[in-house]
Structure 1
Amino acid sequence: MRSFLKPLWAAALLFPLQAAMAQTPVYLDDSKPIEDRVEDALSRMTLEEKVALCHAQSKFSSAGVPRLGLPENWMTDGPHGIRPEVAWDEWVQAGWTNDSCMAFPALTCLAATWNPDMSLRYGRAIGEEARYRNKNVLLGPGVNIYRTPLNGRNFEYMGEDPYLASEMVVPYIQGVQSCGVAACVKHFALNNQEYDRFGVDVEVSDRALYEIYLPAFKAAVQRGEAWAIMGSYNLYRGQHCCHNQRLLNDILRGEWGFDGVVVSDWGGVHNTREAAYNGLDMEFGTGTDGLSVSASDAYNHYFLARPFLEQIKAGVIPESVVDGKVRNILRMMFRTTMNPNRPYGSFEDPAHGEAARQIAEEGIVLLQNRDNTLPIRLEKTRKILVVGENAIKMMTVGGGSSSLKAQYEISPLDGLRARVGSAAEVVYARGYVGNIDGSYNGVVSKVDLSESRSADELLAEAVALARESDYVIFVGGLNKNSHQDCEGGDRYDYGLPYNQDRLIEALAEINPRTVVVLVSGNSVAMPWADRVGAIVEGWYCGSEAGHALAAVLVGDVNPSGKLPFTMCTRLEDYHAHALNDSLVYPGVNHREVYKDDIFVGYRWSDKQKKNHRPLFCFGHGLSYTTFEYGKAVLDRKQMTEADSLRVCVSVKNTGSRAGAEVVQLYVSDLKSSLPRPIKELKGFRKVMLQPGESREVEFVLDRTSLSYFDDAKHAWVAEPGRFEVLIGASAEDIRSRVGFELK
C-alpha cells in the first residue's frame, strides 16, 4: 500500500501570509469555529474571487483563492470507484499511469446486502481512494427511486423503497466524509429515467414526492449530514432541478436545514438569474466540451461566471446572493481541504479489494434453487460448462460517468476456474454475441470480444458441451452498453438482449442443472424461469466479481442478499407501465405525470390479483440454510404519538450450515382517511446465525413509522386507529403478524 505524502502547496501558499501577519487570520486558525472562519475568509475576498468560486475552471475543478491560501476544489465521479483523470478541457483520458482504482460493486448490489455495516465499509474504502487522489468531493452516492426497470441508470441507485435507501445511504456518507471528502448525493430530485432527461418536466403529487422520492435525500442531509448535493437534469414545476426554487430553497435548505453545497450536474444549468436565486452554488459542465467560446476563456462564459459578475456589478443582482453561495463553498472547504486533521487516504490497498469482495458476496441474491441445484458439489463434479458473453466481458468499463479504469477485474469465468482448480474441468462456450466493443471514454477492455461464428454455431457448441457437463453456468443479462444499463438512455424493452432466451431454453432442455446468473442492475423478463435449476442475481460486482460469484456458487459463502426492488414477470406489471399511458412514462412533449403516485414497486404489486404477483418480490432472497421465525411480540398493545413501541421476534437457523437472514418489518394501517399501501417497510435487521442458533431481534416503532404525508395539511400525519406489524423474510413471505392501536 502506498501512503499519501502530505502536500507541500499548502505550506508554500500560507508561509508568506503567516510571515507577513503578526497574528494568524481567523480563517486559517482551525481552532476557531467553522462559521467564524467562513465569515473571516469571505470578508477578505474580492467580488471577482467570490464569483470564481461558483463555477468550474476545468472539467472537474473550480478555482480557489491562491492569494489567501484557499485551494481549488476537485471533484471526481463515483459512486462505485474513482474515475480516471481526464484532460483539463476535454473528456479524453489524461494518460496517467497511476489512476487505476478499485472497482466496488454497483449500488444496487450494496442495497441488496441490506447491511448498513457494509455501506459504512464501502464509504470508507472509496473515501480513502478519493482522498489519496486529492479529491475533496465524491459525486455520489445516488438514491433515486426505482420507478421503472427501463431506467438506464437504476444500477447506480439503491432500489425502490425509500426506507431501505435511507438506511443504506446514511452510513455510506458517513464513511466517505470520515476521510475528509464530501459526499455529493445525487440526483436531486425526480431523476427516474434517462430518456429525455434534459427536457422532461415531472409532475408529481406532494404526497408521492415526500413519501417516495425525497426520504432518502432527507436522510442523507439530516442524518448523514452530507456536505454536498447534486441537482438533476430534469425539470420540476417548470424549473430545472439544478436551480429550482421549491426543491433547493424551500425544501432542501428551508425545511431540512441543509448547510452544504449544491453542485449542478454537468450541463444542468440554463440561465443566470435562476442559477443565482434558486439555490445553486457551483456550476459545472455547461457547454459540455469546455470549449464553446475559446480554449482559454470558455469557463468565464458559464452562467455563474462573467454574466453573474456583470449583473452583480450592475446592481441587478445584490452581492449578498454570491456571498450566500461562497459561504456554502467555504464551509465545505473547511470541512475538507482546509481541515488539518484530514486523513491522508490510501490507494492500491488490499483491504479495499477485500471490502469489495465481501460487499459483493453479501449482495448476490439467490433467486431460485430448484432441487437444491446449488451449491455446486465439487466432490461429485467432473465438468462444469460456463456459457455466455458476460462470463468474460469487463463490466467495470461502460455505463456512463461511473465507468472505471480498474486496477483489475476478475471475470466470472476466471473466478470459477481459480476456485475450482483441479477439482473439476471448467470449459467455456461463448453462446451469444452482444456488444464486442469493450472500450468506453478512453478506457479499453483487456478482453477481445470479436467473434466470427454465427449464432447457430455458437448455440450448437454450447448445447453439445452442456450434454456432457455436470453443471451449466449461464452468465448473461445486461451489459452497461448503450440502452442496457447505461447513462444517457433507457432500455428499449424488458426482455434479455441478444436472443439469450433462446440459448437458455436450449441449455435447460439438455441439462437440468442449468444455473442462470444475471449480471445486471435491472430486472428482466425470465420466460424460462420454471425450466432452469437455479437463478442468481449477480449484479455488477466490480473488481472482485468473479471471486465473489464463485464463492457463492460452490458454497464457500452462503448467499444472504435480498432484492432491493421487485422483479415482475412482465413490464406491464409495473405501475408506471400498467397504465399504458405515455404521459406516465416516458412522457409526451417533455411532460410526464406520475399517475402511479405512491404505489411504486411492492406498494403496487401488493394491490394486484394473485395472477399478477411478481416473479420475485421485494426483499426476496434464498439461502443454503433455513430459518424459523417465532411469534412477534409487542411491549404494549397501545401507543400514543409521543410513545415508542418495541417489537421483538426470535429467529432460529434450522439448517445445517451458518447463514445470515434479513428480518424485515412492515407496518400496515388497517383504516386510514387517505389511500395507503397495504404495507410499508419500516425496519430490518441482518443477523448471522450458526446452525441451531436462535436470536431475539428487536425493532422500535415511533410516530414516523406510522405516518403518511397529508398534501392538504402539508404535514406528516399519524392517524389514530388500528395498525398491524408484519414480520417476514420478504414482502410476500410474512411469518408473523401482531396488531396494536395508536391513541
Structure 2
Amino acid sequence: MTAPTPPPTPPFRDPHLPFAKRIDDLMSRLTLDEKTGFLHQFTPAVERLGIAAFRTGQEALHGVAWMGPATVFPQAVGLGATWNDDLVRRIGEAVSKEARAMRARDDRVGLNVWSPTVNLLRHPLWGRNEEGYSEDPRLTSAIATAYTRGLRGDHPTYWRTAPVLKHWLAHNNETDRDTTSSSVRPRVLNEYDLRAFRATVEAGAVAGVMPAYNLVNGRPNHVSPYLREHLRTWTDEDLLVCSDAGAPSNLVDSEHYFDTHEEATAAALRAGVDSFTDHGTDSSKITARVRGALDRGLLTEADLDAAVRRQLSVRFRLGEFDPEHDPYADTADFDTPEHRALAREAAEQAVVLLRNDGVLPLAPGARVAVVGLLADECKLDWYSGTLIHRSTPLEGLYERFGAEQVRFAEGVDRVLLKTGTGTFLHVPPADDDAPGEARGAEGALDPALLAGRTDLPPLTTDTAGTELALVDWGEDVLTLRAPDGRYLSVAEDGYVRASADQPGGWVVQETFRLEPHGNGHLLRHLGTGRPVRVAADGVKVAASDDEDPEVFELVVTERGEDAVTRAAAGADVVVVVAGNDPHINGRETQDRTTLRLPDHQGRLLRAARAANPHTVLALVSAYPYAVDTETLPAVLWTAHGGQAAGTALARVLAGDVSPAGRLPQTWYASDADLPGLLDYDVIGGRQTYLYFEGTPLFPFGHGLSYASFAYADLAARVGQEAVRVSFTVTNTGDVTADEVAQLYARAEDPSVPRPRRELLAHRRLTLAPGERAEVDFELPLSDFAFWDVAHGRWRLEPGPYALLAGASSEDVRLSTTITLDGEPAAPRPVGEHGLDAAAFDEQSGTEIVDRAKTAGDAVTPAAGRTGELLYRGCDFGPGVTWVSVEVAGEGTVEVSVDGGATAVLSTRTPTPGPYAYTTLTAGFTAEGVRDVRVRLRGALRLAHIGFSG
C-alpha cells in the first residue's frame, strides 16, 4: 500500500522565500475575523494554520521586568550617565539573552520588548526621569541605538528580540498626561524631539515605536500624522506601532477627541497604530470596535491588512515561523557570571563624582560611618525585574572595609502611635511560613507578591505598642516600617498589615500622611485617600468619610538625627546616602514638585556634617537634586544601580575604580531656574544645556575623576560631506582611569537662535598613567544644520562654527573655528505661498493646536487671551494689496509689517466648530522684504495667512 502523499508545505512556511512573499501568502490565508483578532495586544492562535498566540510587549528597560527573577542593571538614566555605547550594547545583548532563556521556561515572556525609552529628559521634575537617557538628543540616540543593537542581536536575518521605542512624542509630564497637549513648534520638533527617535530608527535595529499618552499640538499621539510623515519614511523596514496601555480608549473617554470608540479606533489604525493595548487580556472590546468601524465604512480591509502585515513582519524576524533556523532558539544565558560582572561594571561606570576636595578615595583602613535612609537599601523601580542578587551601600562597605571598620545608622525616626484611649498601635508577629508567603530566588521576599496579602494578622492596639520606623520622603509622604523590616500596607479588604517588603505597585499602598487634627494627628492612607481607624477586629482604613477616624499622638522615641550624630562622631569619614524611593513622589503617574532634597534627609545631612566635617554625600536617585554642596568635601551621584549598586559605590569610594560617569542632564541650582513643566519650547524657554543661560549647579557632561587628563592637538579638516576632527587625551594622573572626551559645536554668527553649544560626539576612554590616545570623529555636514522654518527643511548656514573639545559642556579644554559653506538665507516667498501660522520665528502667548483631526497645525492664543507671532524676512516682491486669513472660532487677527500697513480682520460670530474654517480678507499694502507681525485675540485658530496682488 502506498503511503499517502503529505500535503505540500505552504509558502509562508518556506524559509528559502523572502519574508515579504511569505507574509503575502499567509495574509491570503487569513480570514477577516482572524486579521481583526491580530490587532489586539493578545493575538489569539490560528490553530487551523498552526500559528501560535502572540503578545506584543515585554518590559525590558534595564533588565527583563515583571516576569520574576532576572539580572537587574542600573536604571536607564544611570546607563545614560555611563556615556558608554559599547557597554550599553552589551547590556542590551544580555537582557535579550535572558528574555530568550526565560521564554523557554515561561511562554508569557515576550520577545517584542518595549524598550528603550527615548523621551528626552527636558525637565528634571518629570516623574519618569529614571526611564530616559539624557536631555541631549544625540547622546540619547547613541545610547538608545547601542541598546537596541544589543537587543536585536547581530544575525543578518533573525532578531533575538524586537525592540519598540517609547514614548512617541514630546512627552515629559505625568500630571494630566492623557489630556495635556505639548505645544511643539517646527524647529523644536525637528531639532529636538524627533531627532533622538530618528537617529535610532535609521540605525536599523528598531522594530517599532509606542505613542505616548499626551497630545502634541492639540492632537493625540495615537492619531498623529507624524507616524506616517516622519517615522515610516526613515526606514524601509516594517515598523510596528504598539499603543500604550489604555490609550485607545482615552481617545474617547478622557480626551473626548472622538465621539465614538469606532471612530477613534479607525482613526488610530489609519494613522498607523498596528497593535492595540487596551482592556488587559480581553480583546473583545477592540475587535468589536474594529468590526463596528468596518460596518460603518470607517475602515477597509486594506487598512487592517497594513497593520497585520507589520505585526507579522516582526514575528517572522523573531524566527517564530522558522524554529529550526532561528539562531537564538536555544539561548540559555541567564544569571551567568558574565551577566553579574556586567551588572557590576555598569553600576561602577554610572557613578558620577560631582565634587571632591581630596577626601576621596577613602584611605585604606578608614573608619567609615555610613548613614541615611538609603544606606542599607537596594531600591527597585516600576520597570525592574525581581532581584536575584542584591547589594546595598552598607553591604558593599562591609565587604570592602570589613564590618569592624564600618558603623551604620539609618537615621529614621522611631515612633509610637498612641490612640485616644491611651493604647498604642501594635504589630502582631508574622509567621514567615504563613500560607501565601511569596519568595523569589535565594529565599528573597518578592515585593510584588507580598503587598496585598490578607493572610497576615492586621495591626491591633495594646498598652505597650510597637516601635515603628517613620520615614519622611518629602511632600508630607511617609512610610511606616515594623521592627522585622516589613512596611505597613493596606490590602483590598482595608486592613493595615505589616505585609510589604518595599513600597510598590501601580497604586502604592504603603504611603501615609500625618495630618494635624485637634490635639493630635490623623493617619491618612494615601492609596485610598482615607484615614486610619481602630476597629474591634483590627486597624483598618475608614470605609467612608462618614466613619470617625482615629486621632493619634505621635510619640518619638528616637530622632534620626541623634542616631546619625552618634555614628558620625567617631568615624574618619561619614558617607551620607540620600535620595529617593523610585515608587514614591516622582514616578510614572506622578511628577515631582521640587528639586530640593526632602527635609528629613536634609536634617540628617546637616547632623552628619555638624558631627564630622569629613562628610561625603552619596546621592542615589532617579533624578537631579538642588543641594548646597559648597560645605561638603565630596559629593557623588548615581542612579539606582540595580543588583550591584552597593558593591559598585563602595569600590568607587575606596578607589578600586576611578569614577568616570558624566551627567546626562543639567543639574539646576534651584527651582527658580526651571521652566514650566508644560513649556515644551526648549528654544524660546532657553531650556537644557543647549540654551540655558543661567549658572547650573553642575553642567551637562560634568563628572570628576581620581586621575587628571590633558587635551592637546586639536585639528579639524573640512571635506565635501563631512568634518574630520581629532585631538589627543593623556592621563596625567597616577591611576588607571576612564575619561569621557566630549566634542561640542556652536554656530558663531547664526541668523536664528542656535544652541550655546551642542554635543556632536563623545567617546569613553580607558587610559593607564601616562597613556595617550587620539580621538577621531567624522561628522557629517548635516550635523551643523538647523531647521529652516521659512522653507520647511534642513539648511546648513554658511559661516564660522566653533569646535569645542573637553571634559564637559562647560569644561572646554581646546577650541578652534572652522568655516563651512552652506546655503545662504532666502526670504520667505509669502507672495506666492503665504504663511503657515505655525511656521513662526518667535511667539508670545500662543500655543499650537490641530488644524484638523487628521493633519496640520494652527495657532491659538493661550487660554483664549492675546498672543503675538513674528515671521522674519517675508518677501512680498513688487507688492501685494490684499491679505487673507484662514481662521476658525471667534476673535480678531491683526496683521502688520514693520513700519507699514496694518489690517484687522475679525470673525464676529463663531464658526460652527474648531475645524470649521472661514477666510477673511482685507486691504493690505506691502512690498519688498519685511517682517510680519500677527496679533491674535479671542478664542480662534489661525491656520494660514495669504497675500495677493
Please report the TM-score for the alignment, with normalisation by the length of structure 1: 0.85
What residue number does 1:104 align with? 73
* Offset at residue 531 of structure 1 (A): 1.1
Match of 2:359 among 359, 363, 373: 373
Structure 2 residue 406 is matched with structure 1 residue 328: no
Amino acid at match of 1:675: P
Q: 1:496 maps to which residue?
A: 597
Aligned-residue offset at 1:506:
2.3
Give the distance between the partners of 1:258 and 1:239, measured in 2 at CA.
26
Q: Could you tell me which of 689, 694, 715 is aligned with 1:602? A: 689
**2:609 is the alignment partner of 1:627:** no
d(CA) in 2 for partners of 1:391, 1:250 = 50
Please state if 1:318 is matched with 2:300: yes
Q: Please point out which of 73, 76, 79 is paired with 2:54.
A: 73
1:272 paired residue number: 265
Aligned AA (2:214): N
Q: Which residue is equivalent to 1:11?
A: none
Does the CA-based 8 Å contact 1:276-1:321 persist in structure 2?
yes
Q: CA distance change for structure 1 residues 450 and 425 in 2, over 3 Å: closer, same or farther?
A: farther
Give yes or no for contact 2:376–2:410 (8 Å, CA) kept in 1. Answer: no
1:47/1:481 CA distance change after superposition, 3 Å: same
Residue by residue, what CA displacement relative to the aligned partner does 1:386-414 show, whole Å, maximum 9, x if unpaired?
11111223411xx43x1432223211111
How large is the Cα RMSD of the aligned pairs? 2.5
User: Could you tell me which amino acid in structure 1 is paired with residue 623 of structure 2?
Assistant: N
2:727 and 2:557 mapped to 1: Cα distance? 53
Does the Cα contact within 8 Å between 1:483 and 1:491 map onto a contact in 2?
yes
Q: Which amino acid aligns with 1:557?
A: V
Question: 1 or 2 for the larger relative contact order (CA 8 Å, sep ≥6)?
Answer: 1
Q: 1:71 to 1:243 in 2, by over 3 A?
A: farther
Q: Is the 8 A contact 1:240 1:268 kept in 2?
A: no
Partner of 2:501: 445
CA–CA distance in structure 2, aligned partners of residues 718 and 428 of structure 1: 58
In the TM superposition, what whole-angstrom CA distance separates every residue of 1:395-453 from its partner, at most 9, and x where no partner exists?
11xx43x1432223211111211122257234333356243477799995379999998
**Does structure 1 conserve the Cα–Cα contact (< 8 Å) formed by 2:127 and 2:590?**
yes
* Cα distance in 2, alignment partners of residues 537 and 64 from structure 1: 48
Seen in structure 2, the aligned counterparts of structure 1 residues 555 and 373 have a Cα distance that, compared at 3 Å, is same
Alpha-carbon distance in 2 for matches of 1:27, 1:156: 38
SS at match of 1:530: coil
Shift in Å, 1:498: 4.5
- SS of the equivalent of 2:284 reads helix
- Indicate if the aligned counterparts of 1:244 and 1:274 stay in contact, CA closer than 8 A: no
Asked whether the equivalents of residues 599 and 677 of structure 1 are also in contact (C-alpha less than 8 Å), the reply is no
CA, structure 1 residues 676+158, in 2 after alignment: closer, same or farther (shift >3 Å)?
same
The equivalent residue for 1:10 is: none
Change (3 A) 1:441 1:242: farther
User: Where does structure 2 lack aligned partners over 5 or more consecutive residues?
Assistant: 104-109, 154-158, 252-263, 414-470, 473-478, 492-498, 505-509, 513-553, 822-949
1-side partners of 2:336 and 2:581: how far apart? 28
Q: Distance in 1 between matches of 2:641 and 2:607?
A: 27
* Residue matched to 1:544: 644
CA shift for structure 1 position 633: 1.3
Residues 468-617 of structure 1 mapped to structure 2, 5 A cutoff: 468-484=570-586, 486-527=587-628, 529-574=629-674, 576-577=675-676, 585-586=677-678, 594=681, 596-597=683-684, 599-605=686-692, 608=693, 612-617=694-699
C-alpha deviation, 1:241, in angstroms: 1.0
Quick one: distance in 2 between partners of 1:548 and 1:445? Answer: 23
Query: In structure 2, what residue type is equivalent to 1:125?
Result: A
Partner-residue secondary structure (3-state), 1:214: helix
The answer to whether the 8 Å contact 2:378/2:645 transfers is no
Pick from 129, 132, 138: which aligns with 1:154? Answer: 129
Distance 1:563 1:496 in 2: 18
Q: Shift of the alpha carbon at 1:309? A: 2.2
CA contact (8 A) 1:385 1:429 kept: no
- SS at 1:473 equivalent: strand
Q: Distance in 2 between matches of 1:103 and 1:541?
A: 8
Q: Which residue of 1 aligns with 2:530?
A: none
When residues 627 and 430 of structure 1 are mapped into structure 2, their CA distance, relative to the original with a 3 A threshold, is: same
State the TM-score, normalized to the length of structure 2. Answer: 0.67
CA distance 1:342–1:20, change in 2 (3 Å)? farther
Corresponding position of 1:5: none
Match of 2:321 in 1: 338
1:250 corresponds, among 218, 226, 229, to: 229
**Superimposed CA distance per residue, residues 123-142 of structure 1 (whole angstroms, 9 cap, x where no aligned partner):** 00111111222221111110
Moved more, 492-501 or 671-680: 492-501
2:11 equivalent in structure 1: 26
Aligned to 2:870: none
Alpha-carbon distance, 1:215 to partner = 1.3
| Structure 1 pair 339–558 and aligned structure 2 pair: CA distance change class (3 A) | farther
Describe the superposition over 1:479-498 as per-residue Cα deviations: whole angstroms up to 9, x where unpaired.
Answer: 112323x1111012221125
Aligned partner of 1:659 in structure 2 is 737
Alpha carbons of structure 1 residues 150 and 118: separation in structure 2 relative to 1, 3 Å: same
Separation in structure 2 between the aligned mates of residue 147 and residue 488 of structure 1, nearest angstrom: 17
Structure 2 Cα separation of the partners of residues 568 and 446 of structure 1:
30
Which residue identity does 1:520 align to in structure 2? S
What are the equivalent positions in structure 2 for 1:186-225 lying under 5 Å apart? 186-225=166-205
What is the aligned partner in structure 2 of residue 55 from structure 1? 40
Larger radius of gyration: 2
Residue of structure 2 equivalent to 1:386: 370
The equivalent of 1:176 in structure 2 is 151
Is 1:421 aligned to residue 402 of structure 2? yes
**Structure holding more helix per residue:** 1
The CA distance in 2 between the partners of 1:320 and 1:676, in whole Å, is 44
Supply the distance in 2 between the matched residues of 1:347 and 1:441 (Cα, whole angstroms): 35
In 2, Cα distance between equivalents of 1:600 and 1:447 = 33
**Structure 2 residue aligned with 1:720:** 798
State the shift of 1:704 in Å: 1.8
Cα distance in 2, alignment partners of residues 644 and 445 from structure 1: 55
Q: Report the Cα distance in structure 2 between the residues aligned to 1:614 and 1:185, rounded to whole angstroms.
A: 30
**Offset from partner CA, 1:162-193 (integer Å, 9 cap, x none):** 01001111111011111621111100111111
2:96 to 109, 121, 127: 127
How big is the shift at 1:238? 2.7
CA gap of 1:428–1:146, structure 2 versus 1, over 3 A, is same
1:301 aligns with 2:280: no
Q: Shift in Å at residue 595 of structure 1?
A: 6.5
Question: What is the CA-CA distance between 1:598 and the residue it aligns to?
Answer: 7.8
**CA–CA separation in structure 2 for the residues paired with 1:506 and 1:695:** 45
Alpha-carbon contact 1:479-1:519 (below 8 Å) kept: no
Amino acid in the other structure paired with 1:132: A
Matching residue of 1:282: 275
- Aligned partners of 2:72 and 2:384 also within 8 Å: no
* Counterpart secondary structure, 1:170: helix
Contact 1:375/1:553 (8 A) holds in 2: yes
Partner of 1:94: none
The question of whether the paired residues in 2 share the 8 Å contact of 1:208 and 1:597 is answered with no
CA–CA distance in structure 2, aligned partners of residues 215 and 447 of structure 1: 36
Give the SS at the match of 1:723: strand
- Partner of 2:756 in structure 1? 678
- Which of 140, 145, 160 is matched with 1:165 structurally? 140
Counterpart contact for 1:138–1:183, Cα < 8 Å: yes
Distance 1:339 1:564, change over 3 A: farther
Task: Determine helix, strand or coil for the equivalent of 2:730.
Answer: strand
Letter in 1 for 2:401: V
- How many residues are matched? 666
Query: Is the partner of 1:40 in helix, strand or coil?
Result: helix
